[in-house]
DNA sequence: AGAAATATATCAGTTTATTTGATGATATAT
DNA sequence: ATATATCATCAAATAAACTGATATATTTCT
């Protein structure tokens, strides 16, 4: 078993050129080399592999069955080699190798994924590292310098932020929940008698408090998914993004609470750069794509 | 934009060796070259890429951030180069580049996939081309020489075949189907009043007829999936592999028909080699794996 | 059938990129 | 301070790859 390559990329390229250009002579012309250099490279390649890639039938060089397969694989190889070098070029131009993106869980996944897949198409190899947070986790990420772009509820002042997306959070509880049985509009006094499902802040520094209504009992969860699941199981009530509960509202498993006040409120998600003074080209592109996708989907 | 690689595999290999062995001198020793050759190759590499991969801090060569990324990618490249050459070696040893596998649709997909993924692990690059057929399509494939291994209902005599897997086909219809409303056991007279969903033979030569019961109306489909979907939509009744309808039977969307006779019958699937006199090593391995997987899952 | 044209293989000589060994520069360890 | 380890650079040596000419084989043309 070999452990290092003996065949050079040049040899594979010669092989490919012979096929693509229709012969040794044409390949020679294409590669700016003599016909005998092509012949030499090709025979050496086959000798090193111990296998015939071409059989010269009459005066035409034809692929063997094995040559066909190896040709295909070799193209992947040389393509990847070219891509690495192009990627290196982009790096030399200041393009980032990796972008760290932090997104608040309230931001719709489909928009995010659509933006990321668009970016992947033109990313030139730049990878995106995605982290999901809730509430002040986003601001923390900005401050702690572990990120490049943040999509979150608000940016600490001093960061370059743009309003991006409005999320409507509405108060819901399971259809059978006692709060729905009340005859009058629900007051905060009513709420305080029931379990409030709160999404825990994933931030660590300045805890923002979204559970501003005091409540006897509080069920704290760490993601929108778990909050939704808790509420769907009748554990309590809570505020969730409208787009995440629309299905349940339609099906009737959840119902919006008729609150005297605060039945819904709007949160604005902002997109911010963590290092405004030094934004790389790929980071800028990704941000632009995200904004575009959001704009098109409003 | 470059269109062909300038950096050689050797250069990448030198780069990797410097990191893996801890320095230029060690890499030189490992690669059986002088230290200055390493230094030359490395500086040329960086010059060609237009980017620094190593920064010499003190007397130690350390990866730059970009070097780290390109190191990882370059490993994929050199690994692939080695794999191609190993694959070529296997080809030279008579190993097949591609195996054509024809499988009757009645053979459970999970078994097939499990076998194929096992084979992929040890295939040394041999690819499997999979074709799905129903009924005599399998025999046709054997006869027409466009295949290596066949899993089908029966092999024409003269082929090397082993019994592989027993499929139980049961008669089913949608729960609300009129046939389920009958008070007595269903007779063929009853059946003939309803639509029979038949899986069409994908073979082209000798049409085998599985719809042996005459039926007023017949709905012909070309795959098990469409048959299942037709029956699930209440279009008619038909015989389907038990493992494909077990979920629906459990959920109650389909019900087995209480037939006077022939409510179920068993079909045996055989595995056959198309060219018994000349079976390649990879073909033999794949067949063995398929048999093993089936044996373990009975 | 024979001549001309096309296509790959091979050979001897040349070119060139890579390698070497020696030396230099610099940082770390004793 | 001195010794040691590490990478950079230079001129010279080397080996792999390349060239141009020629050989061999096949197809095409007349």
Same domain (yes/no): B143, B277: yes
B177 and B237 in contact (C-beta within 8 Å)? yes
**Does residue A141 carry a pLDDT above 80?**
no
Confidence (pLDDT) at A155: 66
Cα-to-chain-centroid distance, residue A271: 15
B140 and B258 in contact (C-beta within 8 Å)? no
CA/C1' separation A18–D28 (Å) = 23
Confidence (pLDDT) at B253: 93
Please give the structure tokens belonging to residue B28.
Answer: 């030189």
Query: Which of strand D's nucleotides are less than 7 A from any protein C-beta?
Result: 5-11, 17-21, 25-27
Which chain A residues are closer than 8 Å to B73 by Cβ? 80, 84, 87, 125
- pLDDT confidence tier of residue B202, bands split at 50, 70 and 90: low
**Does residue B237 carry a pLDDT above 60?**
yes
Least confident of A141-145, A288-292, B125-129: A141-145
Which one of A150-154, A275-279, B216-220, B256-260 scores highest in mean pLDDT?
B256-260
In whole angstroms, what is the distance from residue A130 CA to residue B89 CA? Answer: 42
Q: What CATH number is attached to the domain comprising B18? A: 1.10.10.10
**Is B1 part of the contact surface with chain A (CB cutoff 8 Å)?**
yes
* H-run or E-run covering B26: helix B24-30
- pLDDT confidence tier of residue B211, bands split at 50, 70 and 90: very low
**Does residue B128 carry a pLDDT above 50?**
yes
Confidence (pLDDT) at A223: 79
Q: Is residue B14 part of a domain?
A: yes
pLDDT tens digits for range A16-27 = 999 999 999 999
Closest CA to A6 of B81, B80, B6: B81
Which carries the bigger pLDDT value, residue B20 or residue B215? Answer: B20
In whole angstroms, what is the distance from residue A281 CA to residue A95 CA? Answer: 6
Q: Is residue B120 part of a domain?
A: yes
Q: Is residue B1 part of a domain?
A: no
Same domain (yes/no): B186, B156: no
**Is A98 part of the contact surface with chain B (CB cutoff 8 Å)?**
yes
Closest CA to B6 of A86, A93, A42, A29: A86
- pLDDT confidence tier of residue A256, bands split at 50, 70 and 90: very high
Nearest-CB residue to A85 (from B49, B86, B88)? B49
**Does residue B117 carry a pLDDT above 80?**
yes
Q: What CATH number is attached to the domain comprising B223? A: 3.40.190.290
Domain final position from A92, A125, A144? A92
**Cβ <8 Å between B81 and A78:** no
* H-run or E-run covering B15: helix B9-21
Confidence (pLDDT) at A287: 95
Which carries the bigger pLDDT value, residue A196 or residue A52? Answer: A52
Same domain (yes/no): B158, B14: no
3-state secondary structure B190-212: HHCCCEEEEECCCCCCCCCCCCC
* H-run or E-run covering A255: strand A254-256
Q: Is residue A177 part of a domain?
A: yes
Q: What CATH number is attached to the domain comprising B290? A: 3.40.190.10
Same domain (yes/no): A160, A292: yes
Cβ contact A40 with chain C strand, < 7 A = yes
- Averaged pLDDT for residues A88-116: 88
Give SS3 for A148. coil
**Is A297 part of the contact surface with chain B (CB cutoff 8 Å)?**
no
Confidence (pLDDT) at A209: 42
pLDDT tens digits for range B25-58 = 999 999 999 999 999 999 999 999 999 999 988 7
Which carries the bigger pLDDT value, residue B80 or residue A60? Answer: B80
Q: Is residue A2 part of a domain?
A: no
**Which residues, including other chains, have CB under 8 Å from residue B221's CB and lie 6 or more apart?**
B197, B198, B199, B200, B227, B230
Same domain (yes/no): B257, B173: yes
In percent, how much of chain A has pLDDT > 70?
A: 89
Confidence (pLDDT) at A43: 95
Domain count for chain A: 3
Confidence (pLDDT) at B208: 43
Largest CA distance in chain A: 95
Q: Name the average pLDDT for chain B.
A: 86
Least confident of A205-214, A248-257, B55-64, B141-150: A205-214
Task: Return the exposure string of B119-148: e unless at least 16 CB atoms fall within 10 Å of the residue's CB, then b.
Answer: beeebbbbebeeebbbbbbbbbbbbeeebb
Least confident of A88-92, A126-130, B164-168: A126-130
Same domain (yes/no): A160, A284: yes
Same domain (yes/no): A170, A262: yes
Same domain (yes/no): B56, B140: no
pLDDT tens digits for range A176-214 = 888 898 888 888 778 877 888 877 665 444 344 444 444
In whole angstroms, what is the distance from residue A233 CA to residue A222 CA? Answer: 17
In percent, how much of chain A has pLDDT > 90?
A: 37
Q: Is residue B75 part of a domain?
A: yes
CA distance A286 to chain B (A): 20
pLDDT tens digits for range B261-271 = 888 888 889 99
**Does residue A143 carry a pLDDT above 50?**
yes
**Does residue A156 carry a pLDDT above 70?**
no
Cβ contact B89 with chain C strand, < 7 A = no
Cβ contact A37 with chain D strand, < 7 A = yes
Same domain (yes/no): B263, B172: yes
In angstroms, the Cα distances linking B170 to B243, B261, B265, B266 are 10, 11, 7, 9
Q: Is residue B84 part of a domain?
A: yes
A171 and A239 in contact (C-beta within 8 Å)? yes
Candidates B76, B85, B126: best to mutate against A (most CBs of A within 10 A) is B85
> By residue range, what is the domain housing residue B121?
99-164+269-296
pLDDT tens digits for range A262-274 = 788 888 899 998 8
Same domain (yes/no): B37, B115: no
- pLDDT confidence tier of residue B276, bands split at 50, 70 and 90: confident
In whole angstroms, what is the distance from residue B177 CA to residue B233 CA? Answer: 10
**Is B52 part of the contact surface with chain A (CB cutoff 8 Å)?**
no
Cβ contact B268 with chain D strand, < 7 A = no
Residue bearing tokens 């097949």: B96
Cβ contact A59 with chain C strand, < 7 A = yes
Closest CA to B68 of B79, B58, B49, B53: B53
Domain final position from A76, A92, A108? A92
Q: Is residue B138 part of a domain?
A: yes
Confidence (pLDDT) at A136: 57
In whole angstroms, what is the distance from residue A149 CA to residue A287 CA? Answer: 7
Confidence (pLDDT) at A18: 95
Structure letter (DSSP) for residue B185: P
Same domain (yes/no): B273, B127: yes
Provide DSSP, A231-246: HHTTS-BEEEEHHHHH
- Averaged pLDDT for residues B158-164: 84
In whole angstroms, what is the distance from residue B67 CA to residue A67 CA? Answer: 35
Cα-to-chain-centroid distance, residue A9: 33
Size of interface A-B (CB pairs under 8 A): 116
Confidence (pLDDT) at A298: 74
Length of chain A: 298
Closest CA to B159 of B260, B289, B278, B275: B275
Residue A79's CB: how many other CB atoms inside 10 A?
A: 12
Same domain (yes/no): B236, B190: yes
Confidence (pLDDT) at A204: 46
- Averaged pLDDT for residues B112-137: 85
- pLDDT confidence tier of residue B209, bands split at 50, 70 and 90: very low
């Amino acid at each position: 078993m070999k452990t290092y390559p003996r065949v050079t990329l040049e040899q594979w390229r010669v092989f490919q050129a012979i096929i693509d250009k229709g012969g040794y002579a044409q390949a020679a012309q294409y590669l700016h080399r003599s016909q005998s250099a092509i012949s030499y490279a090709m025979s050496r390649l086959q000798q090193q592999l111990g296998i015939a890639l071409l059989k010269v039938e009459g005066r035409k060089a034809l692929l063997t069955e094995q040559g066909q397969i190896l040709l295909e694989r070799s193209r992947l190889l040389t393509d990847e080699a070219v891509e690495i070098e192009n990627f290196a070029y982009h790096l030399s131009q200041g393009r980032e190798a990796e972008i760290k993106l932090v997104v608040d869980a309230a931001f719709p996944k489909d928009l995010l994924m659509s933006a990321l897949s668009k970016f992947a198409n033109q990313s030139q190899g730049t990878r995106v590292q995605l982290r999901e947070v809730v509430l002040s986790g986003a601001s923390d990420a900005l401050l702690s310098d572990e990120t490049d772009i943040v999509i979150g509820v608000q940016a600490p002042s001093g960061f370059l932020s743009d309003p991006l997306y409005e999320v409507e959070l509405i108060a819901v509880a399971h259809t059978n929940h006692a709060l729905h049985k009340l005859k009058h509009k629900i007051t905060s006094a009513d709420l305080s008698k029931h379990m409030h499902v709160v999404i825990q802040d994933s931030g660590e520094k300045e805890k923002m408090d979204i559970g501003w209504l005091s409540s006897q009992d509080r069920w704290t969860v760490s993601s929108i998914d778990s909050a939704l699941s808790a509420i769907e199981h009748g554990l309590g009530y809570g505020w969730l993004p409208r787009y995440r509960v629309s299905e349940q509202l339609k099906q009737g498993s959840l119902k919006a609470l008729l609150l005297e006040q605060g039945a819904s409120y709007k949160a604005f998600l902002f997109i911010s750069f963590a290092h405004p003074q030094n934004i790389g080209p790929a980071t800028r592109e990704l941000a632009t794509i995200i904004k575009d996708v959001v704009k098109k989907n409003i």
